[in-house]
Amino acid sequence: MKKAIYILFFLLTIYAYAQDSEDSPPSDLPADISTLNQIGFSNIYLGMYRDEVSELLLNNRLFYYRGEEDVVFSPVEQQPVIRCTGSSYIKRGFFFFQDEKLFSISLILDSKKITRYTLVEKLSEKYGKPKEVTPKWVMWENEKYQISIEEPLAVKYLDKEIYSERIQKSEIKEADRIIELDKFYNEF
C-alpha cells in the first residue's frame, strides 16, 4: 500500500513537472562539438584522458579514489574502467574509457539523501526539457550526447558516437563467434 502511494505521488509529480515544462521554451543540449568539455559531472568531462580523470578523482571530495587499484578492464574489449566508491550523495562512480578517452560516466546515487525529482529539475534547468520521461527513465539527448536519470537512482552521461562504435564492434564479434560455432558443428 505504501509503495503504491509512493508510485502514485511520483507519477503525479512527473506529470505536474511535464505540464510546467511545456510552458518553457525547449532547449536541447548544444550540438556544437566545441562544447565537448562541458558535458560531464563536477569537473570531469566526457572526452578527457584517463590520466586527467584519475588526477581529478584523487582531488575530488565526492569520491574515495585510490588510484590504479580502482582501475579494472572490461572483459571483452580490455578497455579501462575506473570504479570507485563515492562519498555523501554518491554510492559508486564508474568511468568508462575508449582509447584512453572518457566516453561514459555512471553515478549510482544514494536515494535516501537525494531525490529523483530534484535531479530532474536541476538537469532540466541546465539542459532544457527532457526528450523522454517514463517512471523508470528521464533522458536528455542530442546528436552526440545522452544524459539520463534511471531507477534505481543513477545519472549516466554517454557519448553516443563512441557507444555506437562499441556496439557495432561487439555485433561483429558476435557474428564471428556464430560463424565459428557453425564451423565447429560441421566438424561432427
Helix (H), strand (E), coil (C) string for 35-76? HHHHCEECCEECCCEHHHHHHHHHCCCCEECCCHHHEEECCC
Closest Cα partner for 158 from 147, 150, 170? 147
Beta-bridged to residue 98, according to DSSP, are 101
Number of independent structural domains in the chain: 1
Q: Is residue 155 part of a domain?
A: yes
pLDDT of residue 162: 86
184 pLDDT more than 90:
no
Buried b (16+ CB within 10 A) or exposed e, 54-77: bebbeebebbebeeeebbeeeeee
Q: Which domain holds residue 41?
A: 2-160
Task: Give the Cα-Cα-Cα angle 125, 131, 133 (nearest 5 degrees).
Answer: 90
Q: Is residue 61 part of a domain?
A: yes
Q: Which amino acid is at 60?
A: N
- Residue 169's pLDDT band, with cuts at 50, 70 and 90, is low
Helix (H, G, I), strand (E, B) or coil at 130: coil
Q: Is residue 181 part of a domain?
A: no
- Residue 115's pLDDT band, with cuts at 50, 70 and 90, is very high
Q: Is residue 113 part of a domain?
A: yes
Beta-bridged to residue 132, according to DSSP, are 139
Q: Is residue 169 part of a domain?
A: no
Q: Is residue 106 part of a domain?
A: yes
Q: Cα separation of 96 and 105, whole Å?
A: 6
The full DSSP string for 172-183 is HHHHHHHHHHHH
pLDDT of residue 56: 96
Q: Is residue 102 part of a domain?
A: yes
For the ranges 26-30, 84-88, 104-108, 153-157, which has the lowest average pLDDT?
26-30
pLDDT of residue 74: 80
10 pLDDT more than 50:
no
Q: Is residue 179 part of a domain?
A: no
Mean pLDDT of 126-151: 92
